[in-house]
Chain A
Amino acid sequence: MSRPPPDPLYILRGSGAPVNTLHFYCGGDGPPLLYSGSGKGAVHVWNLNTRRAEQVLESHNSNSVIWLDTFDGSRSSLISQGRDMRLCLWDLSEGRSAVTDSLLTGAVGFCQCSLLESQPGSSLLAHPTQDMEEVSVVEMKSWTQVCSLRPDTKLGMLMSMKMWQADSGPVLCAGYEDGSIVLWDVSQRHPLSFLKPLPEPVMCLDVHVCSQKGISGSSEKILQSWTVDGQRTLQMHHSVQMTNPGVSQMRIRADGKILATAGWDNNIRVFGWKKLKPLAVLQHHTDAVNSVAFSDHQDPTQRLLAAGSKDQRISVWSIYSES
């Protein structure tokens, strides 16, 4: 008999609205933080030592916050993306909660942005635009557009994307409405490879840069992983079947050992990253899970998994964190 699945370490309550997105910040000095974006435009900054919300930022005119990230390696520089078609930059230092800058993207979809800090001080940001199929990559400080990526063939709406720094320069992986995934060379502005693992829209994808492997999920029961080989082409890899269909988000832990998915069936699923072996089904939430995030703790034993759900709660788990 295998061990029973663990219970959550603790639950963060009080966001008052469905939790859409989560982001950990555990570096630097000071307590580890978890940023959460809610469906009513509030961004909560949770202190994971006291397990209380330190700050609540009202933003985006009470429109849903769909993406959060910190930049400049600082806990007080936050970027948020809302359904009001805006990106906001926040300065949270010394108790402030001020929007320092904002960008009107014009995107009405649900696609989350992707931030790439290539060198300290200069960051690239990929964001969806008014044109549903287009990805715009901008230089963060100046909002000057580096490039605009548009597929030649009709793939439908942009659904999700991830940008990372490869040897030859930044590359971006984008998932589209018809289920196809396109690997873009950002500096050359042309598609490198094309893959259509699933027929349904790509709800989410994540790429583990070290193992050159990525995975995509859709509204179906199947998760399909793929590799990026030496010629920077996408190849199908493993696939795994889930009990219930629908994934809203998935994340690979930084060490490339496990993958967590946020399921529409209220469950968080954990898979081994190498073979996609199902490892655990974490049941706690009473409504669809919207977001999962792994913490970036320096000490691997302290690594956490957080999941935000439509039932307005955030569950925090410690799983496979030993050694």
Chain B
Amino acid sequence: MGSVETECFLKLQVRSHLRTLSCSQERMELLHALRSLAGLLEDAEFTRTYYARALQVLVAKDWSKRLLHDHDKELERLWREMFLRGPAEPVLMTLLDAISSARCEVDRSSADSAQYREALIGQISALPSITSNQLRANTPEDLLPHRFYTLLAESILETLERTCQALRAGHDCSLSFISQLLGKVCIQGNGGIFGTMAPRLSSLTRVDPLMQRVTQNLLEKVPERCMESVITGLVLSLKGPTAVSRLMGDLVLNNKKAQFVLTHKMLLQQYQHPSLLLKSVLGYLSLDSERRVLLKQVLRSVCQVWCNSSAVKHTCVEQQLYVTRALLLTVALLQNSEVQELRQELVQCMLGGVQCRLDSNIERIRRMGMVVGECLSQKLDTPGSQLQFQYESNEEIQELRSLMEYQAVEGEEPESDASNNLQPIVEASEVCAVPSQSITSLPVNDSDSELDSDDDLTPFDMSADQEKRISAPPRYVRDCLEGLMSEDAERFELSLQVAASLLRKNVTTTQEVSVQFCRVLLHLEDRYNTTLFLSLRQNAMVALTVTHVKPVVDYWTTEFFSLNYSLRQRLDILEVLALSAQELSEPIRSKQAAAQPIPEVVPPEQFDDITHWRHIVEKRIQSKTRRIGKGVTQPVKAAPNRFAPVAGCFFFPLLKNYDRPQTTFDLLGSDHLVLGRLLHTLGLLMHLAVNAPVASQMGRALLDFIWAVRFHTDQMVRRGVLFAVCSVFLGMHSENLLTDLGEDLMEARAWLADVAESDCDSDCRSLAMQSLVLLDRTLKAQLKIPEMKT
């Protein structure tokens, strides 16, 4: 009964004080009310029930006015006391409510309810946003996100340390609030909070097993929906799997969500993480025998993804690289017994995955396949059947290979400690101290070793010292042709080296033997390991094409679709056609013009008497005038495009036979590599024929051709298609584009938009984007003209 009475009394008392505080203007009354309320702060009943209400009254508008204008020291002191001495949560909530002036619909009376906690956590984690919404540019530095979350991290750390102390002292502690807060902060995208926490936790858990328990408990209590962001943030900030293992313990075994994130989502669905994260995650899985079961499971699923041929075709290269990394790391972490256990899976993965990668047109993917093939077969250690590929090594390859040497235990990086830092320096100086011993295969008298050097004589430049050749290069085209067919290695080499320049110099002879020469060059093989063989041969082929355009181009285009050529030869033909077209379309440079053996045909107008006379006088003046201070700048002369009249010869024959598969060459089937190159070449030819009269016909034909192959499964082909589309839009005159293509354009536009959005290859997407932009620009330009006229 007594308690009820006191409760009633308290209620009355508080109510009257609050009324005074909210309504009264008298200073003495206010002071009195505040003092007595402050006196009640020790009262548990008051703080539990009435405190929040009292605070709300105190943050009301007239109070802030009063404090700002009156400068009443005593009043201000008491007012502050009310906030600072009471329990923290209601103060924070009230103040934040006041700031955001959006009241939470929370039942204040039940301060321990889940809803209330939720709101509180929300407010804490969003404090920087709330304050800066109000204060805008005037936000204090401590409340800016970066600084605030660092502070928050420090407080959390302090709390955890205190928890440890409390546990040691035998108290019971619950970490669920901290866990929820951490989850909330992370899910809001502030995973950077671990940048401060992770290193500290890592070093604390190293020495303190209790701290390990505490952090593991902390992570276990994180709400399920926040688990992913917490784990990602944590693993990203930790260095090395042992640290991850100390902090997480067996979280991956106990928590389904964590297991999903760690063994599936991070490895197979995401691909933006650095390989350090992969090392941490997989190393973490490998460090404990129970977790190794999961590692095997991971290997199975990674293998499945890696050898999936549709994944090779439909995922982007970056993701494939990421999965490859994961695969190699997992394999590296397996023990020999486990490898034997999983042998079947690994062999299947290797065979399937490597095969579908080698089929790919993209070099990076092929290389990935080769590296993995080599690494896996090495790990499987089948004697005599280890795979070996030839490829040029690059940084990516080396990185992938280095993953195979990864060991989880040595993955730990040393703490950035002063004593640790000293270690390598000492070692380095020791290495330097070891005298470098010069290797001398022959006995040399040591006594005169100081005198025994030629260092006082500085050598001259000896770069001109080349291997001497015995035979002379051929001087005639026919000799050169014979040389190319000869069995004499040196003669062959010399002939190939001079072929291009000979062909260009002797135009008439070249025209006599051009097709024969083409045949020889096309079938030429690098029998003698000639340096720069490919480029020399290509140069000669281009020289032939540009000196005798029609017959040679006819020859190339017929041979392209004929029987019994290797892919390489067909690709060579395409390359040569593209290069020749490019050379023809460029204006002849003055130097070449001077060297041109064909005498210039004088246009008939120049025989006109007057011009002739003028011409001669002008020439005479030119030759007698010495111009000082004027360089050899010559006015740019217009020259006819040599490619325009023959563009059709290059272009149309290539479109003729594509759908007639031969026994050895199936353009629309397995030879999609050639198809991709063909599309590229067609696009190039289209581009080079810009402004030529035949361009619009070419464009139309090309778009028709493209239509048949635009949904090809191979990325290279799709890239070629999009490149060709771009070149059509660029090369065709915009008027023709509309009138000739009309309907097709709209359809193409829809298709392009679709590709730009959903293609798996980033190059395809960007190319589609490009062509969309081009198309829109031309369309806009075309559609505007009539408007302007009216």
When the two chains form their complex, are residues B457 and A258 in contact, meaning their CB atoms are under 8 A apart?
A: yes
B443: interface (CB < 8 Å): yes
B610: interface (CB < 8 Å): no
Complex: how many Å from CA A238 to CA B452?
12
Q: Which of B38-62 contact A (CB under 8 A)?
A: none
Task: Please pick, from A1, A3, A244, the residue contacting B468 in the complex, using a CB distance under 8 A.
Answer: A244
When the two chains form their complex, are residues A4 and B454 in contact, meaning their CB atoms are under 8 A apart?
A: no
| Contact segment of B167-175, B265-273, B458-466, B679-687 | B458-466
Complex: how many Å from CA A250 to CA B452?
21
Complex: how many Å from CA A278 to CA B465?
11
When A2-B459, A235-B443 are in contact, do A281 and B454 touch as well, CB less than 8 Å? no
In the bound complex, residues from chain A placing their C-beta under 8 Å from that of B462 are 2, 5, 278, 280-281
When A235-B443, A238-B442, A267-B465 are in contact, do A279 and B459 touch as well, CB less than 8 Å? yes
Complex: how many Å from CA A4 to CA B453?
22
Q: When each residue 276-290 of chain A gets 1 if its CB lies under 8 Å from chain B and 0 otherwise, what string results?
A: 111111010000000
B467: interface (CB < 8 Å): yes
In the bound complex, residues from chain A placing their C-beta under 8 Å from that of B460 are 2-6, 279-281
Separation in Å of the A76 CB from the closest CB of chain B?
36
In the bound complex, residues from chain A placing their C-beta under 8 Å from that of B639 are none
Q: Which of B62-117 contact A (CB under 8 A)?
A: none
How many of chain B's residues have a CB under 8 angstroms from any CB in A?
18
Looking at B451, B461, B465, the one whose CB has the most chain A CB atoms below 10 A away is B465
When the two chains form their complex, are residues A243 and B461 in contact, meaning their CB atoms are under 8 A apart?
A: no
Complex: how many Å from CA A283 to CA B454?
22
Q: When each residue 239-254 of chain A gets 1 if its CB lies under 8 Å from chain B and 0 otherwise, what string results?
A: 1000110000000000
When the two chains form their complex, are residues B442 and A277 in contact, meaning their CB atoms are under 8 A apart?
A: no
When the two chains form their complex, are residues B457 and A272 in contact, meaning their CB atoms are under 8 A apart?
A: yes
Complex: how many Å from CA A239 to CA B465?
19
In the bound complex, residues from chain A placing their C-beta under 8 Å from that of B461 are 1-5
When A273-B454, A275-B454 are in contact, do A243 and B466 touch as well, CB less than 8 Å? yes
In the bound complex, residues from chain A placing their C-beta under 8 Å from that of B442 are 236-239
Complex: how many Å from CA A275 to CA B464?
22
In the bound complex, residues from chain A placing their C-beta under 8 Å from that of B468 are 243-244, 265-266
Q: When each residue 422-463 of chain B gets 1 if its CB lies under 8 Å from chain A and 0 otherwise, what string results?
A: 000000000000000000001110000001111001111110
When A265-B468, A267-B465 are in contact, do A280 and B452 touch as well, CB less than 8 Å? no
Complex: how many Å from CA A281 to CA B458?
13
When A238-B442, A274-B451, A275-B452 are in contact, do A281 and B457 touch as well, CB less than 8 Å? no
When the two chains form their complex, are residues B443 and A272 in contact, meaning their CB atoms are under 8 A apart?
A: no
In the bound complex, residues from chain B placing their C-beta under 8 Å from that of A236 are 442
Looking at A258, A273, A276, A281, the one whose CB has the most chain B CB atoms below 10 A away is A281
Complex: how many Å from CA A272 to CA B454?
5
Separation in Å of the B458 CB from the closest CB of chain A?
7
Q: Which of B705-723 contact A (CB under 8 A)?
A: none
Task: Please pick, from B451, B459, B466, the residue contacting A280 in the complex, using a CB distance under 8 A.
Answer: B459
In the bound complex, residues from chain B placing their C-beta under 8 Å from that of A257 are 457
A320: interface (CB < 8 Å): yes
Separation in Å of the B262 CB from the closest CB of chain A?
58
Q: Looking at chain B's contact residues, is the secondary structure mostly helix, strand, loop, or mixed?
A: loop
Q: When each residue 258-272 of chain A gets 1 if its CB lies under 8 Å from chain B and 0 otherwise, what string results?
A: 100000011100011
In the bound complex, residues from chain B placing their C-beta under 8 Å from that of A235 are 443
Task: Please pick, from B443, B465, B467, the residue contacting A281 in the complex, using a CB distance under 8 A.
Answer: B465
When A272-B454, A275-B454, A279-B454 are in contact, do A243 and B459 touch as well, CB less than 8 Å? no
Complex: how many Å from CA A5 to CA B464?
9
Task: Please pick, from B444, B457, B466, the residue contacting A277 in the complex, using a CB distance under 8 A.
Answer: B457
In the bound complex, residues from chain B placing their C-beta under 8 Å from that of A237 are 442, 444
Question: Which residue from chain B places its CB closest to the CB of A281 in the assembled complex?
Answer: B465
When the two chains form their complex, are residues B467 and A243 in contact, meaning their CB atoms are under 8 A apart?
A: yes
Separation in Å of the A110 CB from the closest CB of chain B?
22
When A235-B443, A237-B442 are in contact, do A243 and B465 touch as well, CB less than 8 Å? yes
Complex: how many Å from CA A265 to CA B468?
6
Q: When each residue 207-236 of chain A gets 1 if its CB lies under 8 Å from chain B and 0 otherwise, what string results?
A: 000000000000000000000000000011
In the bound complex, residues from chain A placing their C-beta under 8 Å from that of B451 are 274
Complex: how many Å from CA A6 to CA B453?
23
Complex: how many Å from CA A265 to CA B460?
18
Looking at B452, B453, B462, the one whose CB has the most chain A CB atoms below 10 A away is B462
Complex: how many Å from CA A266 to CA B452?
30
Complex: how many Å from CA A320 to CA B454?
12
In the bound complex, residues from chain A placing their C-beta under 8 Å from that of B454 are 271-277, 279
In the bound complex, residues from chain A placing their C-beta under 8 Å from that of B464 are 5, 281, 283
Separation in Å of the A112 CB from the closest CB of chain B?
25
Q: Which of B441-498 contact A (CB under 8 A)?
A: 442-444, 451-454, 457-462, 464-468
Question: Which residue from chain B places its CB closest to the CB of A257 in the assembled complex?
Answer: B457
Separation in Å of the A37 CB from the closest CB of chain B?
26
When the two chains form their complex, are residues B457 and A278 in contact, meaning their CB atoms are under 8 A apart?
A: no
Separation in Å of the A217 CB from the closest CB of chain B?
16
Separation in Å of the A84 CB from the closest CB of chain B?
32
Complex: how many Å from CA A271 to CA B467?
18
In the bound complex, residues from chain B placing their C-beta under 8 Å from that of A3 are 458, 460-461
When the two chains form their complex, are residues A274 and B458 in contact, meaning their CB atoms are under 8 A apart?
A: no
Question: Which residue from chain B places its CB closest to the CB of A282 in the assembled complex?
Answer: B460
Complex: how many Å from CA A150 to CA B95?
118
Question: Which residue from chain B places its CB closest to the CB of A227 in the assembled complex?
Answer: B445
In the bound complex, residues from chain B placing their C-beta under 8 Å from that of A266 are 468
Q: When each residue 1-14 of chain A gets 1 if its CB lies under 8 Å from chain B and 0 otherwise, what string results?
A: 11111100000000
Complex: how many Å from CA A257 to CA B458?
12
Question: Which residue from chain A places its CB closest to the CB of B461 in the assembled complex?
Answer: A2
Complex: how many Å from CA A5 to CA B444?
30
Separation in Å of the B6 CB from the closest CB of chain A?
101
Separation in Å of the A300 CB from the closest CB of chain B?
14
When the two chains form their complex, are residues B459 and A274 in contact, meaning their CB atoms are under 8 A apart?
A: no
When A235-B443, A236-B442, A238-B442 are in contact, do A320 and B457 touch as well, CB less than 8 Å? yes
Complex: how many Å from CA A243 to CA B451?
28
Separation in Å of the A295 CB from the closest CB of chain B?
18
Separation in Å of the B460 CB from the closest CB of chain A?
4
In the bound complex, residues from chain B placing their C-beta under 8 Å from that of A243 are 465-468
In the bound complex, residues from chain A placing their C-beta under 8 Å from that of B443 are 235
Question: Which residue from chain A places its CB closest to the CB of B451 in the assembled complex?
Answer: A274
Complex: how many Å from CA A4 to CA B460?
6
Complex: how many Å from CA A257 to CA B456?
10
Complex: how many Å from CA A3 to CA B457?
12
In the bound complex, residues from chain A placing their C-beta under 8 Å from that of B453 are 272, 274-275
Separation in Å of the A307 CB from the closest CB of chain B?
16
Question: Which residue from chain A places its CB closest to the CB of B445 in the assembled complex?
Answer: A227
Separation in Å of the B437 CB from the closest CB of chain A?
17
Complex: how many Å from CA A277 to CA B460?
11
In the bound complex, residues from chain A placing their C-beta under 8 Å from that of B459 are 2, 277-280
Q: Which of B737-763 contact A (CB under 8 A)?
A: none
Complex: how many Å from CA A250 to CA B468?
20
Separation in Å of the B465 CB from the closest CB of chain A?
4
Complex: how many Å from CA A273 to CA B452?
9
Q: Which of A1-43 contact B (CB under 8 A)?
A: 1-6
In the bound complex, residues from chain B placing their C-beta under 8 Å from that of A258 are 457
Separation in Å of the B447 CB from the closest CB of chain A?
13
Complex: how many Å from CA A31 to CA B483?
54
In addition to A272-B453, A273-B454, 14 A-B residue pairs with Cβ atoms within 8 Å of each other are A5-B464, A6-B460, A237-B442, A244-B468, A265-B468, A272-B454, A274-B451, A274-B454, A277-B454, A278-B459, A279-B454, A279-B460, A283-B464, A320-B457
29 contacts between A and B (CB under 8 A): A2-B458, A2-B460, A3-B458, A3-B461, A5-B464, A6-B460, A238-B442, A239-B442, A243-B468, A244-B467, A266-B468, A267-B465, A271-B454, A272-B454, A273-B454, A274-B451, A275-B452, A275-B453, A275-B454, A276-B454, A277-B454, A277-B459, A279-B454, A279-B459, A279-B460, A280-B462, A281-B460, A281-B462, A281-B464
Q: Nearest 4 A-B pairs (CB), nearest first?
A: A272-B454, A280-B460, A277-B454, A5-B460
* A residues lining the B interface (CB < 8 Å): 1-6, 235-239, 243-244, 257-258, 265-267, 271-281, 283, 320
